[in-house]
Amino acid sequence: MFATIASQVDLTKAAYAGETKLTGPLNVLAWAGYDDPELMRGFTELTGVELNIKQAESNGAQLSLVQAGTVKFDVINPDAVWTEKFAAAGLTLPIDTTKLSSLGDTLPSFRNRPETVVDGKVYSIPTRFGVNGYVFWPDKISAAAAADAGLAWDKSLKERVEIIDWPELYLWMTGKWAGLAKPEEAVGADLDRIMERMAAFRPNMRALQADMGTVKSDLANREAWLVWGSSSDNVRTTARLNGANVDLVIPKQGGAMWMETLQIVRGTEHLASALAYIDYMTSAKAMKQMAWGADKFAVTNSKVKDLLTADQVRTLGLDMMEEWVANCQMSQAPVDETAWADAWQAFKMG
């Protein structure tokens, strides 16, 4: 399909995928980075279809915006663990994966992920991903110390640890490290146990930042010696590009992964264009731009490595990614979102 589109595009006429006219514009609700001008321009030059991209604030906000229907989105970009929530709400469509030419290039760890399937049908296609552990200054913290999840609570790190406003991640990781088999199900006494552990962490918390940018700058400036989570591989990459020789460790108790996906909104009037967009965004060329554009993130197309230099591969941590991923589990969305939101708000208020 991708080759067919490329061969048939005439920017003075309507584009076609096979015998299907590609209509638009395409409204996409996505995380930061998907509005990269080069990415957008590449799709439009290939297909003749314009993109309108609205930046998503959270998974829950994406769900609310699609349900509201004020803007008729065609493609959305929630994390994989939200796939079932969107499908169960009747908001998304199964995807015909035979129309996607690059799925065979997907890294083995991200093929046939259970989080992308509902009732035996594929509803979401993986794009970017990341791991969460500890990023630290090795002259302040040893790799052996960082290999234990209890490090964030060590008294020697008073006011030296930073995190971001990401309740799903920190409550899930804390619950996992506390021994809960399914921390996403935590309510009542189990949730209280998680929050007691978070309260014990507070003396070490230098700040709970609203965005990753501040966390990265504080780490680079050595105001923070340790960053917990915050998309650790991206924090490491950014710091190293700025000359900070920090390290990343996934604790022996395990880390957490996240994975973004592209999904098609039920009721779209531009189904062929939506499929063409997902096909384009999962191609090695587009994913190379996602990996080494203005943002720096790991991506699921294995052929991206071939388009990067050896230094770029090392800087992104792609040479270490298989090891990191093997020691991580996909952090799950909470079953009781309200209870977790209330608990997190109480933690933020101190």
Assign 21 a pLDDT band (cuts: 50, 70, 90): confident
Single pTM value for the model: 0.89
The Cα 289–Cα 299 span in angstroms is 10
Q: Taking 70 as the threshold, does the pLDDT of residue 311 lie above it?
A: yes
Q: Taking 90 as the threshold, does the pLDDT of residue 16 lie above it?
A: no
Phi, psi of 198 (to 5 degrees): -65, -40
Q: Are 230 and 163 in contact (CB under 8 A)?
A: yes
228 with 296, same domain?
no
242 with 270, same domain?
no
Assign 350 a pLDDT band (cuts: 50, 70, 90): confident
206 with 222, same domain?
yes
232 with 155, same domain?
yes
44 with 171, same domain?
no
Q: Which two tokens stand for residue 24?
A: 């638009």
76 with 101, same domain?
yes
- DSSP-assigned letters across all residues of 228-270: ESSSHHHHHHHHHHTT---EEE--TT-EEEEEEEEEEBTT-S-
198 with 343, same domain?
yes
142 with 240, same domain?
yes
pLDDT recorded at residue 19: 55
143 with 220, same domain?
yes
Q: Taking 60 as the threshold, does the pLDDT of residue 9 lie above it?
A: no
Express each pLDDT in 207-226 by its tens digit: 999 989 999 999 999 999 99
Assign 317 a pLDDT band (cuts: 50, 70, 90): very high
Assign 13 a pLDDT band (cuts: 50, 70, 90): very low
227 with 138, same domain?
yes
Residue 217 CA to its chain's centroid (Å): 20
Which residues constitute the domain of residue 236?
Answer: 134-249+327-349
Assign 6 a pLDDT band (cuts: 50, 70, 90): very low
66 with 190, same domain?
no
333 with 200, same domain?
yes
Average pLDDT in the 264-293 region? 96
Express each pLDDT in 153-173 by its tens digit: 999 999 999 999 999 999 999
Average pLDDT in the 67-84 region? 96
Taking all residues of the chain, what is their mean pLDDT, rounded to a whole number? 93
The structural domain count of the chain equals 2
Long-range contacts of 109-112 (CB under 8 A, 24+ apart): 109/322, 109/325, 109/326, 110/259, 110/300
CATH number at residue 163: 3.40.190.10
Phi, psi of 270 (to 5 degrees): -130, 55
Q: How far is CA 244 from CA 135, 178, 217, 220, in A?
A: 11, 32, 10, 6
Name residues whose C-beta falls within 8 Å of residue 326's C-beta, 6 or more positions apart in sequence: 109
